[in-house]
């Protein structure tokens, strides 16, 4: 997986999940996007399904080189899941948190290492919904001379 694929990778996992997919396609955060347009999209998701998943813009940590000479880099990606307290939806509460972790840390193939979750935090917002924040790491393999 390459760095530009990270955001779409997590959005694809959530969209393809049998329990999370019906809640709506994740919004891929773009730091160049209009803030008001993003707020409108989030509100629309919350009103329609009670949940809005946003996949944050990824960043990269410090590289390491393994014994085979392959440079290993982890891309960090945050997922934000806004959950309505008043709208009925499934999964919900801790079940929703668990489903996001399970979905995003599943091994995509025998040849690829799975992502790992390093942090989860949930807070009640002033808008009256709960925001679950997840930090995931996904390995990227970069061979010398590759792009």
Query: What is the structure's pLDDT at 128?
Result: 87
**Average pLDDT, rounded, for the chain:** 91
Query: What is the structure's pLDDT at 33?
Result: 86
Q: Report the DSSP pairing between strands 64-65 and 51-55.
A: unpaired
What pTM value is reported for the model?
Answer: 0.89
* DSSP string computed for 67-88: TTS-EEEEEEEEEEEEEESSS-
CATH class of 3-142: alpha beta
**Domain boundaries of the chain, sorted by first residue:** 3-142
Is residue 142's pLDDT more than 80? no
Report which DSSP code applies to 50.
Answer: S
Is residue 4's pLDDT more than 60? yes
Q: Work out the pLDDT band at 146, boundaries 50, 70, 90.
A: low
CA 25 to chain centre: 12
- What tens digit of pLDDT does each residue of 69-123 get? 777 889 999 999 999 999 999 999 999 999 999 999 998 888 788 999 999 999 9
**Cis peptide leading into residue 54 (ω within 30°):** no
Report which DSSP code applies to 134.
Answer: E
């Amino acid at each position: 997986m390459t760095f530009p694929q990270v955001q779409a990778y997590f959005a694809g996992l959530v969209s393809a999940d049998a329990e999370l997919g019906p809640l709506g396609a994740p919004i891929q955060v773009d730091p160049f996007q209009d803030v008001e347009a993003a707020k409108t999209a989030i509100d629309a998701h919350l009103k329609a399904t009670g949940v809005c998943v946003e996949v944050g813009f990824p960043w990269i940590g410090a590289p390491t080189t393994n014994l085979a000479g392959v440079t290993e880099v982890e891309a960090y990606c945050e997922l934000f899941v806004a959950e309505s307290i008043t709208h009925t939806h499934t999964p919900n509460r801790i079940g929703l948190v668990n489903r996001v972790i399970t979905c995003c840390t599943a091994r995509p193939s025998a040849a690829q290492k799975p992502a790992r979750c390093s942090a989860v935090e949930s807070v009640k917002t002033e808008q009256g919904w709960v925001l679950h924040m997840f930090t995931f790491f996904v390995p990227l393999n970069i061979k010398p001379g590759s792009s």
